[in-house]
Amino acid sequence: MLVSCWCLYLGAQSLYRHVLSMASVVQKLITPLFSGTLEPPRNKVTVVGVGQVGMACAVSVLLRDLADELALVDVVEDKLKGEMMDLQHGSLFLKTPKIVSGKDYSVTANSRVVVVTAGVRQQEGESRLNLVQRNVNIFKHIIPQIVRYSPNCILIVVSNPVDVLTYVTWKLSGLPKHRVIGSGTNLDSARFRYLMAERMGIHPSSFNGWILGEHGDSSVPVWSGANVAGVSLQKLNPDIGKDTDKENWKETHKKVVDSAYEVIRLKGYTNWAIGLSVADLTESLMKNLNRVHPVSTMVKGMYGIGDEVYLSLPCVLNSAGVGSVVNMTLTGDEISQLKKSADMLWQIQKDLKDL
Ligand code: NAD
């Protein structure tokens, strides 16, 4: 009896050694405890369009550890694969374990936030509004695909003209308005805060100032609310922002409006600041921060605006999207400038077909 047990034991031992010798390095190294199917990603971000702006957004999102999966989509397959591989090779320095890409929108499935940067950009001296019809046509292909694979996502539109394209996206997607956001004047406000703060010798985060309305040529600087540590600049200089101002602070807003044209003239495109600012918006959405950002939202019914247009107002961003809008105490002049932007955008939108 004892002998036969011993023989069995030796047999099992040699079988075990044999199985082990057949096993791969990974099988020898790692003993799995779980063999079920993995859950879908919880914090997936997709970037559509891997041009200059899309890649700046992607890198900024990665460096801020906002996503457990990043998906990239574009129509130019070699560039798309190259960008994906280049980012994957940086995985050692990142905390986003999965980076995928594809022309087919199935790679975007289960995204929480989708950033749309696809489309044509301005050439030197060209206005954003001039891009409208070409980018509307591109969006007709993109938006239904995104919603098909991520029906619960929040969309951030970045492509220009951003306010019109956010409206187009809202119409094409069928999503509720609070889940369709345009990056809007988030970038204009960041430029304004940088330029104003530079002039005062302080950090941009310590100068509080808002640029609202259209992203671009008709944007509205809210001089009545500009302050440092709660000290109103308008109280110190009642002419601030006006033509009569001897200190010419208005020049700062002009520089904001001109800055995209200037950067495009110098380097051909703008990308780093928009990428950083989109990652900041993404953070508020992914982490349910309830921070207030100037982004493009549907403003019908606000400040006497009667048409369905998207314009930037201070919006509370959380995991639902635009949770609410802050009602600013604007001056009559600021309100009429907002209305002028709204009218101008509606004139363009009303002729768009098949939305
Ligand atoms: P780009 O030419 O470098 O990249 C655009 C990308 O979109 C390309 O890779 C192209 O292949 C891709 N694309 C085109 N059609 C597509 C489709 N149907 N599906 C998927 N991808 C498609 O341009 P860019 O410099 O990255 O600018 C992108 C957009 O962002 C432009 O409209 C530009 O005006 C805008 N932009 C907006 C802001 C802002 O503040 N909102 C700032 C800068 C740029």
Q: Are 178 and 189 in contact (CB under 8 A)?
A: no
Using the mean position of ligand 1's atoms as its centre, give its distance from the Cα of residue 53 in Å.
6
**pLDDT tens digits in sequence order for the chain, 355 residues long:** 444 545 555 565 665 566 557 899 999 999 999 989 989 999 999 999 999 999 999 999 999 999 999 999 999 999 999 999 999 999 999 999 999 999 999 999 999 999 999 998 888 888 877 888 889 999 999 999 999 999 999 999 999 999 999 999 999 999 999 999 999 999 999 999 999 999 999 999 999 999 999 998 899 999 999 999 999 999 999 999 999 999 999 999 999 999 999 999 999 999 999 999 999 999 999 999 999 999 999 999 999 999 999 999 999 999 999 999 999 999 999 999 999 999 999 998 888 877 8
How does pLDDT run across 237-269, given as a tens digit for each residue? Answer: 999 999 999 999 999 999 999 999 999 999 999
| Pairing outcome for strands 154-157 and 180-182 | parallel
Q: Which residues pair with 311 in a beta bridge?
A: 297
d(C-alpha 152, C-alpha 295), whole Å: 20
One-letter amino acid for residue 58 of the chain:
A
Ligand 1 binding pocket (C-beta < 6 A) is 48-54, 73-76, 117-122, 131, 135, 138, 141-142, 158-160, 162, 183, 187, 215, 269-270, 274
Helix (H) or strand (E) holding 166: helix 162-173
Q: How high is the pLDDT of residue 17? A: 63
Whole-structure pTM value: 0.94
**pLDDT score recorded for residue 133:** 85
Q: Of 168, 161, 121, nearest to 142 (Cα)?
A: 168
| DSSP string for residues in 170-192 | HHHH---GGGEEE-TTHHHHHHH
The rounded Å distance from CA 268 to ligand 1 centre is 13
Residue nearest to atom 39 of ligand 1 (CA): 158
Smallest CA separation from ligand 1 atom 14, residue: 119
pLDDT given at position 2:
47
203 is catalytic: no
Which atom of ligand 1 lies at the shortest distance from residue 157's CA?
A: 41
Exposed/middle/buried for 293, CB within 10 Å: 0-12, 13-18, 19+?
buried
Residue with tokens 């939305």: 355
Distance from the CA of 340 to the center of ligand 1, in angstroms?
27
- Give dist(CA 170, CA 105) in Å, integer: 19
The sign one gets for the Cα dihedral 311, 274, 199, 317 is positive
Contacts 24+ apart (CB under 8 A), 218-223: 218/337, 218/340, 218/341, 218/344, 219/185, 219/188, 219/253, 219/256, 219/257, 219/312, 219/341, 220/334, 220/337, 220/338, 220/341, 221/192, 221/252, 221/253, 221/256, 222/328, 222/330, 222/334, 223/249, 223/334
| Angle at the Cα of 72 from the Cα atoms of 276 and 114, rounded to 5 degrees | 65
The protein residue whose alpha carbon is closest to atom 33 in ligand 1 is: 121
| C-alpha neighbours within 13 Å on the C-beta side of residue 264 | 15
CA of 351 to the centre of ligand 1 (A): 23
